[in-house]
Amino acid sequence: MRFIISAVIAAFTFVVWTTSVAAQDPAVVNAKTIKIKFENDRVRVLEAELPPGTKEQVHSHPSYVIYVLAGGKYRNYAADGKTTEGELKTGEVLYREPLTHAAENIGDTTMHLILVELKTSPSR
């Protein structure tokens, strides 16, 4: 019985956490490092500057494209608890599926990115 109660509590906690995290707008929770440059009913363009040692708050993106103006080394914290490290190269362009995460600049230079979030097409 204790196992069942613990499992129910864990499941409830996970659902509440993922639901609240999914609503985390990167431009709101990371207002010091991410700015909205343009938005309409199809896309939102964000500019992100992450100085060395900066760790973002957890936030969510729909499908999006990243254009790397100034690259660097990062650590990514996924919503499932998985942590990965990598490097973004200046001039690189990447496509990402929707995700909830936090990123940290673990390099020694400021990373500068343009993110283009894709919104669902309006009904016609």
Please give the model's pTM, rounded to 2 decimal places. 0.78
Identify which of 85, 89, 39 has the alpha carbon closest to the alpha carbon of residue 64: 39
Terminal-residue alpha carbon distance, the chain: 52
pLDDT of residue 17: 45
How many domains are contained in the chain? 1
Residue 124 located in a structural domain: no
| 78 phi/psi in degrees, rounded to 5 | -80, 160
Helix spans in 1-124 (H):
2-22, 26-29
Q: What is the pLDDT of residue 90?
A: 98
Q: Can you give the pLDDT at residue 4?
A: 64
Encode 17-33: b = buried (16+ Cβ within 10 Å), e = exposed: eeeebeebebbebbeeb
Q: Average pLDDT by consecutive 10-residue portion of the chain (124 residues)?
A: 57 45 81 97 97 97 97 96 97 97 98 96 61
CATH of the domain at 99: 2.60.120.10
Q: Which two tokens stand for residue 49?
A: 């500057």
Q: Which domain holds residue 53?
A: 2-118
- The answer to whether residue 16 sits within a structural domain is yes
Q: How much is the pLDDT for 120?
A: 83
Assess if residue 77 is contained within a domain.
Answer: yes
